[in-house]
Structure 1
């Protein structure tokens, strides 16, 4: 899966993925642990797994030991000059990081490769959405992950809270548009989980 996610990432974007393991909460730096309100062990393990990946990618970019704090909005506070995103499901954590330049904002999401429950699909799918040739069984799940990733990429730029109805996704063209007029590119893979990477390039700012 790590190879599949890395292969789909645009130039300059580095990615990582990790199966969440017992004890991963120990990878939270003290300041990070204090910034994360969740007390449930599973949530803290997932946060630790994601931040372990982020620490490695940030160290490669010259930010060794950087504490990736959780902001009041829930998004991590990346170093100046870096854009990135974290995500996890119950079993897997994923991260994407890039220097700000050609790409100015990133969002990533991971989901199990299972059909999305009908009651959730009814909330996520909108008439403007286009799933193209995506696997019919997984189209709803991919759409859900795409909207989550697009929101993560758009929020740092626009500071607008968006619902599913505020994001129109076209999986066939690999683009999404928000109700604020933000244009976001997206790429996805299913290997063996659904992973969607969304990004805003410099021309879209």
Structure 2
């Protein structure tokens, strides 16, 4: 159900159907939309809910539009959660600055933007990432950077036609893992610091293991769970950390 309290400029919308993952998430609210680069006009902010920082106002139109679309999704999701019209700002690390008592995540890829939010009392962390599937050539080129040695062994055993999807799924899950964990640990970590240890046949659910100790609360060997959904051509991964 669209949030009619969030006005959409001509370059953004309509709102997308609810919840693209196979399993529900108690208390979480997700909003997504498509945006059209050819309909984007400079300075679309007047009269709208999103007030961009100077770094975005001076950025290329592509960056301005991605910021606008992502914050519109966050605004709508926050309104569903809290009943208040709030737009997250940015932290010094350029991550979204959520209201007190709220956790969330924003993503954009291609012509898609989305956000998910929930109460911090229910979820310590949420990480959301959208990706268009890599073609096999790009997947092969990036595999050594994204995949651990064990993940690369799985890749080589696959049919070549399936490799692009696999690398994209692992990439997206690790991006979501970073978004969910970085606000909790304050330490940057990288693709080789986590590995995929389990997934269902369709990879709609997955388990990741930390290979590096990020803090006393998040040692190596910690397991985290995620989901992967489809929305049109996009893969959408979600990592959740219960309170």
Report the TM-score, using the length of structure 2 for normalisation.
Answer: 0.73
Q: 1:151 and 1:139 mapped to 2: Cα distance?
A: 19
Residue 102 of structure 2 is matched in structure 1 by 82
Identify which range, 35-44 or 179-188, moves more after superposition: 35-44
2:119 to 99, 108, 120: 99
Partner of 2:29: 14
Alignment of 1:1-205 (within 5 A): 2-3=17-18, 5=20, 7-21=22-36, 22-23=39-40, 26=45, 29-30=50-51, 32-34=52-54, 36=56, 39-62=59-82, 64-115=84-135, 117=138, 118-129=140-151, 135-172=162-199, 174-178=206-210, 179-180=212-213, 181=219, 182-192=222-232, 193-202=234-243
What RMSD over aligned residues (CA atoms) do the two structures have, in Å? 2.7
TM-score (norm 1): 0.85
Contact 1:83 1:106 in 2 (8 A): yes
Q: Which stretches in structure 2 are left out of the alignment for 5+ residues?
A: 1-15, 200-204, 214-218
SS of the counterpart of 2:99? coil
Q: Give the CA deviation at 1:115.
A: 3.0
User: CA distance change for structure 1 residues 38 and 90 in 2, over 3 Å: closer, same or farther?
Assistant: farther
TM-superposed CA distance for 1:136, in Å, is 3.9
Aligned equivalent of 2:9: none
Return the offset for 1:174: 1.8
Deviations 1:38-74 (A, max 9, x none): 6011111011111111111112223633231121212
| CA distance in 1 between partners of 2:115 and 2:198 (Å) | 21
Answer yes or no: is the 8 Å Cα contact 1:20–1:49 preserved in 2: yes
Judged with a 3 Å threshold, the aligned counterparts in structure 2 of structure 1 residues 120 and 136 are, in CA distance, closer, same or farther, namely closer
Q: 1:98 to 1:186 in 2, by over 3 A?
A: same
Which of structures 1 and 2 has the bigger CA Rg?
2
Runs of 5+ in structure 1 lacking a partner? none
